[in-house]
Chain A
Amino acid sequence: MIAEKKYILATTVQEAIEQAVANKENFKYLAGGTDVMVNKFQGNETSGCLIDITKITELKGIAKQGDFLRIGALEILEELKFNSIIKDEFSMLIEAALSVGSPLIRKTATIGGNVLCENRCLFYNQSEWWRESIGYCLKCDGDICIATGGKNACFSELVSDTAPALIAMDAEIEYVDEKGTHRQKLEKIYTGDGVKPRNIPKNAIVTSLFLPLNRGFKTAFFKLRERESLEFTSLTSAVTVDKKCKLKIALSGVDPKPVVIEGKIEDDKDLLIKKAIKASRAVDNDMYSRKYRREMISVYLQKSFSILNPPK
């Protein structure tokens, strides 16, 4: 009848990975749990085994490492504001972290968990019974996307608020699996496929995020939501200009993956906005319409540009 479940508290990365291998795909790593536990309650996360990684000290800590600031994946969102380097060089990350959920959520949620949080869709983040009623969608083993009325692709949104902030500041992500340690640009882990939104191997554990030091980022951050708290994003916009005038836009909430546009501060702004809107595959799967969210991309980017490039 009801399958026996497992809960494993790992104390080292190696142990966690060994457990992952032993439990062959039927497991889920668990950090803060603000995403996984809710998905579990809804029946969207059905792994028989939870591997709790919160006691792994290697995954904690914020310190300089070469030209980068390393932030351990288990660092708590609400606590990033206490770090002086983040405050001085990457304050947009604090803005982004403090826009997540509610204060209660942020006191449990981790930065690693936030960049990895499961994509959302009004037609997916529902109970098992609900999804059965509407006819299961692509993301839960159905045949079509319900939100779009039948497309053969999943458009569940990336709803991380910290991911766009990190990406706009050229963050890199490090993860470890049984084959070793891997490091790449954060945006590279997102596939754009809502069903399997990240390409990190299932057994891999994200250990840290790296932010490049001394880039002199000027930043602009906005999050679209109806209430001022307790909200997933409907559009998060993070824009940076570094001291070499490199401009980078990263959006979440409007596509299964972050929308990333790079350029120079002197580029044609209207063109950049057009590019960003074009790259966003927002669909009507949010309490706000697709149309409104696309309109707001333009609003937020214009506001960002005027903050970052004040008219002389």
Chain B
Amino acid sequence: MQIIKLIVNGKEHNVIVEPHETLAHVLREKINLTGTKLGCEQASCGACTVFVDGKVVQSCITPALRVAGSVITTIEGIADQNKLHKLQEKFVEKGAIQCGYCTPGMIMTSLDFLEENPSPTTDEIKEALSGNLCRCTGYVKIIEAVESYVKEENHLHPPLGHHPKHDDTKFKMVGQGRPYIEATKKVQGTADYADDIKIKNALVCKFLRSTHAHAKINNIDVSKAQAVPGVRAVMTGKELPITFGVLPISQDETAMAIEKTRYIGEIVAAVAADTEEIAQYACSLIKVDYTPIRPFFDMQECCEDIGTDEKIHQYGKFNNNIHKKAELRFGDQQEGLAAADHRLKVDFDFQGINHGFTEPHAATAWWDENGLTIITATQVPHYLHRFLAKVMEVPMNRVRVIKPYVGGGFGGKSDPFPHEMIVAHLSRILGQPVKVRFTREEVFLSNHGRHPTKLTIDMGVSNEGIIQALDADVIIDGGAYGSFGVVTTYYNGVLLQAPYKLDNFGFRTRRVYTNKPQCGAMRGHGAVNSRYAVETMIDRFAEKLNMDPCELRFKNFLDENTLTVGQYRVTSNGSTESLKKVMELSEWKNKYKKLPKGHGIGVACGFFISGSALPIHWNEYPQSVVHLKVDLDGRVLVTSGASDIGQGSDTMLAIIVAEVLGLSLDNIFVVAADTTLTPIDLGSYSSRVTFMAGNAAKMAAEKLREQILEAVAKLHQVDKSELHFENEKVFTNDRKVDLTWVEAVENATRKVGALNSTGAYNSPKLGGDFKGAGAGLSPSYSFGAVITEVKVDLESGHVKVIDIWGAHDAGKAINPLAVEGQLEGSWHMGMGQALSEQMKYHNGLLVNSNLVDYKIPTSKDTPPIHTNIIETIDPEGPFGAKECGEGAIHPVIPAIANAVFDAVGVRLTSLPINSEEVLKAMKSMKQFENLKM
């Protein structure tokens, strides 16, 4: 232990430092500058970047004692008091900030390299930022922000104001691109994420995880761990026996393994101690006696009778490891296939994919007179609220879930998690707050990512290119527990019934348990892999028919205002417009089949739900509720349970309320995702928030408006219809009434006090009268198309995507800047799954649980992305809006595969399409061609 002096952001600190402590740890834990983020602790994400004596370093690998006496600058020291640095201003203005977790590192890295190279090219910017991972933005707006800063600094004319704006005189607020309301806080590093929040006197929790995939737990000896000074509690699974799971029908998980472990990495014991180091050390002293049971890793094998071996989960009447089967049939697939002029049956194989959000899970829990409070990185405060109450055996009124800023989710923070149950329990027995934060390895082990999938599609088309039948047979690998898996099982099938007309459509899907970390929901939930299969097969048919694949798609698109074969109600539909747009921009007609060898272009389409019409918990409660309150100060308080995880939902709510009331955002204050303060919203998943919470906010604002209208009209004796709400005023055209907003509020609150209103969203009754009809039902669907251009290295097989043109029918973009960000992030994430990402297992043990071997594309791998928002004005969406956060990922992956085919003539039926696989395919094709000759 040593005392060192550090000058951090101009202030001198004398801190006690342990010999091997990192600078990141000192900054975050001892100096309380938590703008420096930890994403990996292995120097592979860049989130912890700071300056030491003017030089850029990753503080997670910088020993604190090395920098004794140094001058350190963190993100908190970049703004000049409250004046943002111009680069920070650009990040805000350009929408370069979504979840904000990578932002501090991005700013620090950019500032460092701009010092060295003040006039960089775009490629130089991409190179410079290529050690900083971002999962939200696809780097597009980050690069734009840096470029724009450079241009202004060099006194070049900046490009015309980028903020996308859609010509709409109808709206004042809706439709104008604007930064997130909290962007300034995020860009300064002062937005608090779960691990940044320090609750006084909190203990730290660490876990011992199973080293066996499937094993009976005979005994856990915690005596040595308990004896370590500083250890406050050691806990095993027996203390929390109540099961939970996000779906009421899959309550198959406990906070820790109790009788047996079901995957390598499952929590078997937890230690709460004074420091993380002590907790970690104590975990290493816990001895678990296991008897291995035969593990199951192969999903095909898990569909079959397992003989005398032990099932992963006991329930279910059959002697196999199938978790869920689903089958639906419409029309007659066999007849349709038989009648088709062309028929193809293709097998596909997909690896698991992880969300890769930059912020690892973290939570702090404590108990007081109000019961349990937990601050946690979650997408679904409401479900966590329910299951904490269940597992802690207290009524829901004794549980409060608070979501702080969240560093991305993409589905990976949308389950109630074991670690949340454990810290809740430990803090209860200890009477002291308990905190936990995951390492990146633990994030991967916790998983809940996209299911590994094996599927077969049997499809037929006529000579005219009309799809005659589609039959899918799917197995998905759920891992050890249920999570959202029942929904995923259905989605792999049902979400094939659009965007094309199908009369004969059927599927059988099965989800199996295996002894691997569980899978769950991830962006594009359940339909990404099956969409890949169908879109690449459509390309094959186009090839067979010698028809342009865009043409084939145009011929088959569903109309607007129609029903699908499975009775989905399609309202607005921008498929045709989207595809036309990307064809035009990419100059498709000049390129398709016309590019030289090794250079190709490909297309695909997709669609997705704007939230599920049926809630997970079947009750009559609305899917979203928003409350408004306004008092004499005129500021409208918006409270909503919707979780902003970086997608911008807080800003969306503010815009909608401001639009209805004729206000600017200065008069709006959003409090969201705190289960005690805010009304229930079901959470940020299935791309539901803009549609559902947006509608609830709109309704609440309209009701508030009505209250003010009534009061003002009565007081001033004018007809309600004469009053307008605009520019923070309430007035009549003849100015007989001409009130400021605050005056109007004052008028309306006389004798009654603060005004309140409630808005709620209930999905209309939808769907057919058959079992399974509810799966994939949504009040509205988004549609979209992507064209990508690639270059394939003929010698190594390496695929470089050189352009992505995307168009997405988002109904109406409430905040076009945020919508673009969602689309760009989706396309970028899809590119990762297409080319480089996979979860690789060795006997059930995840081999690549780090950000070096799990290969999220860097800025350097990212091509120009050309983003187009298509607006079809949905009849039921708020101001016509529908989803934009998930659907866009569907078309990009097959579009890349189809471009690879155009480039080198190989069809990949498994992902990722990495260099090795492409080369292998090219070689086997060559052999095949040689054989033919």
Contact = CB atoms under 8 A, between A and B. Distances in A.
Contacts of B920: 292
B861 interface: yes
Contacts of B869: none
Interface string A119-136: 000110011111011100
Nearest to B1: A4
B164 interface: no
Nearest to A133: B211
A169 to B, nearest CB: 24
Given A40-B20, A230-B44, A33 B63 contact: yes
A228 B49 CA distance: 20
Interface stretch (A104-112, A245-253, A266-274): A104-112
Interface stretch (B155-163, B175-183, B844-852): B844-852
Interface string B118-142: 0000000001111111000000000
A83 interface: no
Contact of A226 (B41, B65, B112, B914): B914
B860 A41 contact: no
Given A38-B43, A295-B919, A229 B130 contact: yes
Contacts of B845: 130, 133-134
A2 B277 contact: yes
A228 B916 contact: no
Interface residues of B, number: 70
B211 A288 contact: no
B858 A104 contact: no
A101 interface: yes
Interface in A258-312: 287-289, 292, 295-296, 299, 303
B842 interface: yes
A37 B61 contact: yes
A134 B131 contact: no
A1 interface: yes
Contacts of A107: 55-57, 112
Nearest to A47: B20
A123 B845 CA distance: 10
B61 A287 contact: no
A54 B61 contact: no
A142 interface: no
A228 B795 contact: no
Given A1-B281, A37-B61, A38-B61, A133 B264 contact: yes
A33 B62 contact: yes
B882 interface: no
Given A129-B211, A134-B845, A287-B840, A104 B49 contact: yes
Interface in B855-910: 855, 857-861
Contacts of A134: 842-843, 845
B42 interface: yes
A192 to B, nearest CB: 24
Nearest to B58: A104
A6 B278 contact: no
B63 to A, nearest CB: 6
B128 A103 contact: yes
A1 B842 contact: no
B127 A103 contact: yes
A241 to B, nearest CB: 21
Interface string A30-53: 100110011011100000001010
B18 interface: yes
A245 B806 CA distance: 52
Given A127-B441, A230-B858, A296 B796 contact: yes
Contacts of A288: 914-916
Contacts of B596: none
A151 to B, nearest CB: 16
A289 B860 contact: no
Interface string B227-269: 0110000000000000000000000000000000000100000
A65 interface: no
A5 B131 contact: no
Choose among B209, B842, B916 the residue with the greatest number of A CB atoms under 10 Å from its CB. B916
A197 to B, nearest CB: 19
B185 interface: no
A127 B443 CA distance: 13
Contacts of A9: 65-66, 68
A230 B847 contact: no
Interface string B1-29: 01000000000000000111010000000
A226 B43 contact: no
A24 interface: no
Given A5-B18, A103-B127, A122-B853, A108 B61 contact: yes
A85 interface: no
Nearest to A285: B847
B66 A52 contact: yes
Nearest to B860: A228
Nearest to B20: A5
Contact of A287 (B44, B49, B278, B848): B848
B46 A104 contact: yes
B56 A37 contact: no
Contacts of B817: none
Nearest to B128: A103
B109 interface: yes
A42 B57 CA distance: 20
A134 B849 CA distance: 14
Contact of B860 (A52, A227, A295): A227
Contacts of A21: none
Given A102-B858, A104-B56, A226-B835, A7 B130 contact: no
B63 A104 contact: no
Contacts of B131: 101-105, 229-230
Contact of A230 (B55, B60, B211, B852): B852
A189 interface: no
A221 interface: no
A227 B836 contact: yes
A232 interface: yes
A62 interface: no
Contacts of A129: 209, 211
Contact of B132 (A1, A101, A104, A130): A104
Interface in A1-21: 1-2, 4-7, 9
Contacts of B798: 226
A229 B836 contact: no
A224 interface: yes
A178 interface: no
B63 A7 contact: yes
B113 interface: yes
A39 B557 CA distance: 54
Contacts of A41: 41-42, 61
A231 interface: yes
B127 A122 contact: no
Contact of B915 (A34, A108, A122, A226): A226
Given A227-B860, A227-B861, A288-B916, 17 more contacts: A2-B281, A7-B20, A9-B68, A50-B63, A52-B65, A54-B66, A104-B43, A104-B46, A107-B56, A128-B284, A133-B845, A134-B842, A226-B836, A228-B860, A232-B852, A287-B853, A299-B796
10 contacts: A102-B131, A102-B858, A105-B58, A105-B131, A108-B58, A122-B847, A133-B264, A230-B44, A230-B858, A288-B916
Q: Which 10 A-B pairs have the closest CB atoms?
A: A102-B131, A229-B130, A104-B131, A37-B61, A133-B211, A7-B19, A228-B860, A5-B19, A292-B916, A229-B858
